[in-house]
Amino acid sequence: MGRRTRSSLLLTFTFIVSFSSLTCPSFSASTDAFVFGGCTQQKYVHDSPFESNLNSLLTSLVNSATYSSYNKYTIMGSSPQDVVYGLYQCRGDLSMPDCATCVARAVSQLSVLCAQTCGGALQLQGCYVKYDNTTFLGVEDKTVVLKKCGPSVGYKTDAMNLRDAVLGGMARTGGAYRVGGSGDVQGVAQCVGDLSAGECQDCLSEAIMRLRSDCGTADYGDMFLAKCYARYTTGGPRAYTKSHSDKSTNDGEKTFAIIIGLLAGVTLLIIFLIFLRKVFGGNGK
């Protein structure tokens, strides 16, 4: 297998992103909603050592996501062309069960999207998975993979000042996962876990700068670079953090709590009636 060039990966990414963005909303309540995906053009041979190593890598990613929100692997082969590199990254606010579910679905979709290709990447709302036969682990990459800007709302001074304040706050905040909000403006940003703190800051600063300049007065914006992303919304309803996106889960928990409360009340009532029956029954003898 010959090495593929970086440009071929970017061309394939661009095609899939452009096609998919016609139908996919910018934000979604579902953590497994498609954001973008791409594959290399180079193919591997069926039943080859590389395919065996790739299957081992993808299995490791799925298993690891049950206890860690990020991990990376290198599966060595008997020859250099059989080596495969991979990682996954869950959104910083996801619980471990949600992370595991998201990564499992991403791997399943990636296996279809990039069938028999030597490299592929898939971003869902809640997680990111990538593998390749050329190492990318620990390499900072600020290539723009996806940019989406909502419709312009005109220059509303208050809204734009809030937007800029939220983005500025996320740019200054430390850590790989950052959230911010003020009024109806919400923002989220995250680096892939293989970057150093300095590389993460550099990547997020670039993403936020591009987001602010490229999306102008848009009511929402997404800027996904190869190793980090930044997003914002000024509309309120387009929520992308767990506290907003898991409304159905929260409603289910509330319903469950109500049912438990009712059952407890009924149980206490039955015990009280039995007690009264014993008291009055004893007095009647």
d(CA 275, CA 252): 35
d(CA 177, CA 24): 24
Q: Kindly state the helix (H) or strand (E) to which residue 205 belongs, with its residue range.
A: helix 197-215
Structure token pair of residue 110: 């990636």
* CA dihedral over 20, 26, 32, 36, signed as positive or negative: positive
d(CA 110, CA 87): 13
CA distances from 94 to 90, 263, 271 (A): 7, 31, 42
Nearest CA to 231 out of 262, 253, 204 is that of 204
pLDDT given at position 254: 37
pLDDT given at position 270: 53
- Say whether 250 sits in a helix, a strand or coil: helix
pLDDT given at position 271: 53
pLDDT in tens, the chain (285 residues): 433 334 334 434 433 443 333 233 334 458 889 999 999 999 999 999 999 999 999 999 999 999 999 999 999 988 999 999 999 999 999 999 999 999 999 999 999 999 999 999 999 999 999 999 999 999 999 999 999 999 987 777 787 888 999 999 999 988 999 999 888 889 999 999 999 999 999 999 999 999 999 998 898 999 999 999 999 998 754 555 553 333 333 333 333 333 334 434 444 555 555 555 665 665 554
pTM above 0.85, yes or no: no
pLDDT given at position 166: 93
Between the two ends of the chain, the Cα-to-Cα distance in Å is 96
